Amino acid sequence: MKPELLSESAIQQQMAALPAWQLEGKELVKEFRFASYLAGIDFVRRVAVLAEALNHHPDLLVGWRKVTVRLSTHSAGGLTRLDFELAGQIAQAEASPAGPA
């Protein structure tokens, strides 16, 4: 069953809980910066664990000391609750001392 697209008002409500994230078209986007390249790679691994647990996988762009996370539910053609759920988990994990699980 394909997840249901969120309305514009529902997207705006969800965005209020994720102030560091940006909307770019039909994607939820955030760039994370790190002290080293390997710290960024470790972050990618941790995000992958969260994504796998939700069976919802972001597009990740790895650069030198930065990682860009792009969330969208491709099968639905836009943003769904899954995108915001994963973004929230990433935000919570980022705020914890251990980083994403």
The full set of domain ranges for the chain reads 37-74+82-101
Would you state the pLDDT for residue 96?
Answer: 65
Residue 98: pLDDT band (50, 70, 90) is low
**What are the tens digits of pLDDT across the range 28-86?**
999 999 999 999 999 999 999 999 999 999 999 999 999 999 999 999 999 999 999 99
Tokens representing 22? 């940006």
| Candidate CATH numbers 3.30.200.20, 3.20.20.80, 3.40.50.1240, 3.30.1360.20; the one for domain 37-74+82-101 | 3.30.1360.20
How far is residue 10 from each of residues 18, 41, 72, 90, measured CA to CA in Å? 13, 32, 15, 20
β-partners of residue 31 are: 68
Closest CA to 87 of 55, 53, 47, 52: 47
Strand (E) or helix (H) holding 86: helix 81-95
Would you state the pLDDT for residue 93?
Answer: 78
CA–CA separation, 35 and 54 (whole Å)? 28
Question: pTM for the full model?
Answer: 0.91
Half-sphere exposure of 39 (CA within 13 A, CB side): 10
Tokens representing 79? 């943003």
